[in-house]
Amino acid sequence: MKTYLHLLLTFLCLLITARAAESTSPEQKLAALGLTLPTVPAAVANYVPAVRSGNLVFLAGQLARGADGKFIVGKVGRELTEAQGAEAARTCALQLIAALKAEVGDLTKVKRIVKVTGFVNCTDDFTTQPKVINGASDLFVAVFGDKGRHARMALGTSTLPMGAPVELDLIAEIETP
């Protein structure tokens, strides 16, 4: 009987913990991670940062910027390590979350991160692009939970704008009003 009660209490604690995690907003999760959303930069060419089509939001590509606002530069596999590339991808993901919030107003409206496309500026012999883009994928899951799990492409390229190591774009589904 004592074992049964212990199992029941353990199950109830797990259920309450899971419910509490579900009720934590993306903004609260960002704060718990010690992250602040950056200012969304204006478009630098003839495009817009976000386009809504029905309940989908398509976000333009983001290049990682440092705390000083300057672009992070370097080729993964030469000037940057895989881990530094992953950190640049995480920075791009944070910028995408900021752009998404600017477009929809409240991150609790995000129903799902649908698709992420990641480009890695890397040497010809670098083959672990998916590990670099995991820096972004891991952040989306940390902030949105299961809603942050997404389809994705991780591609290597010989160059990116501004000499950036990573560029990411995103498609998100939002709740319909």
- Tell me the whole-structure pTM to 2 decimals: 0.86
Predicted pLDDT at 65: 93
Q: What is the pLDDT along the chain (177 residues), one digit of tens a residue?
A: 555 444 444 444 444 444 444 569 999 999 999 999 999 988 889 999 999 999 999 999 999 999 898 999 999 999 999 999 999 999 999 999 999 999 999 999 999 999 999 999 999 999 999 999 999 999 999 999 999 999 999 999 999 999 999 999 999 999 986
CA distance 177 to 169: 25
CA 128 distance to own-chain centroid: 18
Collapsing DSSP to helix, strand or coil, 54 comes out as coil
Please report where in the chains the tokens 């000083």 appear, as a residue: 68
* CA distance linking residue 94 with residue 37, whole number of Å: 7
Q: Does domain 25-174 bear CATH number 3.20.20.370? A: no
**pLDDT value at residue 70:** 93
How far does the chain reach from its first CA to its final CA, in angstroms? 49
Enter the tokens of residue 54: 């029905």
What is the DSSP secondary structure assignment for residue 67, as one 8-state letter?
Answer: T
Determine the Cα–Cα distance for residues 73 and 139; give it in Å rounded to an integer.
21
**80 beta partners:** 76
Distance of alpha carbon 42 from alpha carbon 83, whole angstroms: 28
Amino acid at 7: L
The rounded distance, in Å, linking the Cα atoms of 19 and 21 is 5
Largest Cα span, the chain: 70
pLDDT at 22: 55
Q: Are 130 and 81 in contact (CB under 8 A)?
A: no
Q: Judge whether 43 and 60 are in contact, CB under 8 Å.
A: yes
Q: Where are the beta strands (DSSP E) in the chain?
A: 50-53, 56-63, 110-121, 151-157, 166-174
